[in-house]
Amino acid sequence: MRFPYKTDYGQDLDLFKSSSDRFWYGLLALVLLSMPLWVDTFWLGEVSYVFILGIVGIGLMILTGYAGQVSIGHAAFLGIGAYTHAILLSMGTPFVVSLVGATALSTLIGAGVGFPALRVAGIYLAMATFAFNFLVEFVFVRWESMTGGFSGFAVASPEFLGVSFTSGGGFYYICLLSIVLAILLTLNLLRSPTGRALIALRDSETAAQALGVRLARYKTTAFAISAGLTGFAGALFAHRIGYLAPDIFTIMFSIQLLLMVVVGGMGSIHGAIFGAIFVGALPQLIAIMRDYLPDSVARQPGIEPGIFGLLLVLTILFEPRGIYGRWLKIKHYFSVFPMHKKAAFSRQKSYTKSER
């Protein structure tokens, strides 16, 4: 077992806690950077999609996993980003400017949605975001002059400095760069006072207030940042699907996004990434599984959402800390081998809370 020996308070602020961290993340970076050399276009596209989902996951994790505000309307922000980006592109806006525009607009709308969150909490907030998702879907359908209504419209291919990078390596690298930036900014935020204030908001609003945390300010910030990241991912998502239509950004998709952070592991950026890999890979897994199932089962229409729902329930029942929690347990098992004891992760019951 490794015991980090600390000699400086600054070490607790560093992104990499040890040299082995540096080694493994460096290796990961090498693998990801060289991927276009040894992976075919289809799988490159799939990995890019996982990156896009990962950015959404990080955004939703900030809001739900850290600030404790549940949203089941994040597909709406994804849609706002996607539509804004595609519309701006069609008007001849340069790629990067349009990307910034899409992010800015969804950030603003996110801050606006944050306002009801100052009044409602828990399940009621979830319902408000749920309603917001419907509202946005409705706008996508009805604002035909901009969105093309039900029939939708094709997204212009991405172009940067006159070079087009529709398929393969180019788009992959843009997504990779985006998710790395998203992770870095988020980690910076989380090791700063704002990140701590979000955790305070999640665990006890009363204590947070008593320590000088402005609830209104930080709830709005959490919503704005979360929506901004999701909108940014939405712009990339528009290129990934190539054709925008309102029936993509539905409640079902929002629930899938929430499933991503819950199954991945609440309250950690690792969790968001694991969740994205899981949700990105699941349709493929289901497709493969279909071949081995009897036709009467495999051809059932609702099998995909059914499996998603089942997995969500199983995660909450058996591994509330998600895939990342399980990962930590496995790591712990090997690091203390053969001294592992079953009780290492069972924690004592929280004390019953009553009125203050």
Partner 1 sequence: MAIFQARDVAIKFGRISAVDGVTFDIEPGTVFTIIGPNGAGKTTLFNLISRLYDTSAGTLTFEGRDITNLPAHSIAGLGIARTFQNLELFDHATVLQNLLLGRHAHTRSNLVAELLFLGSVRREELAHREKVEEVIDFLNLHKYRDSMIVNLPYGVRKVVELARALCSEPKLLLLDEPSSGLNTEETGEMAFWIHDIRDRYGITVLMVEHDMGLVNRVSDKVLALNYGRVITIGTAAQVQSHPEVITAYLGG
- Mask: binding to partner 1, 138-177, rule CB under 8 A, as x and -? ----------------------------------------
**Quick check: 347 binds partner 1 (CB under 8 A)?**
yes
Q: How far is the CB of 87 from partner 1 (least distance, A)?
A: 27
User: Smaller CB distance to partner 1: residue 238 or 269?
Assistant: 269
**Quick check: 203 binds partner 1 (CB under 8 A)?**
yes
**Quick check: 5 binds partner 1 (CB under 8 A)?**
no
User: Smaller CB distance to partner 1: residue 166 or 188?
Assistant: 188
**Quick check: 354 binds partner 1 (CB under 8 A)?**
yes
With CB under 8 A as the rule, give the number of residues binding partner 1: 39
Q: For the chain, what is the HEC assignment? A: CCCCCCCCHHHHCCCCCCHHHHHHHHHHHHHHHHHHHHCCHHHHHHHHHHHHHHHHHHHHHHHHHHCCCCCCCHHHHHHHHHHHHHHHHHCCCCHHHHHHHHHHHHHHHHHHHHHHHCCCCHHHHHHHHHHHHHHHHHHHHHCHHHHCHHHCEECCCCEECCEECCCCHHHHHHHHHHHHHHHHHHHHHHCCHHHHHHHHHHHCHHHHHHCCCCHHHHHHHHHHHHHHHHHHHHHHHHHHHCEECHHHCCHHHHHHHHHHHHHHCCCCHHHHHHHHHHHHHHHHHHHHHHHHCCHHHHCCCCHHHHHHHHHHHHHHHHCCCHHHHHHHHHHHHHHCCCCCCHHHHCCCCCCCCCCC
* From 41, 209, 284, 335, residue interacting with partner 1 (rule: CB under 8 A): 209
Q: How far is the CB of 338 from partner 1 (least distance, A)?
A: 24
**Quick check: 7 binds partner 1 (CB under 8 A)?**
no
User: Smaller CB distance to partner 1: residue 8 or 295?
Assistant: 8
**Quick check: 197 binds partner 1 (CB under 8 A)?**
yes
Q: How far is the CB of 207 from partner 1 (least distance, A)?
A: 4
User: Smaller CB distance to partner 1: residue 4 or 94?
Assistant: 4
* Interaction site with partner 1 (CB under 8 A): 9-10, 12-13, 185, 188-189, 191-197, 199-200, 202-204, 206-215, 221, 267, 347-348, 350-351, 353-356
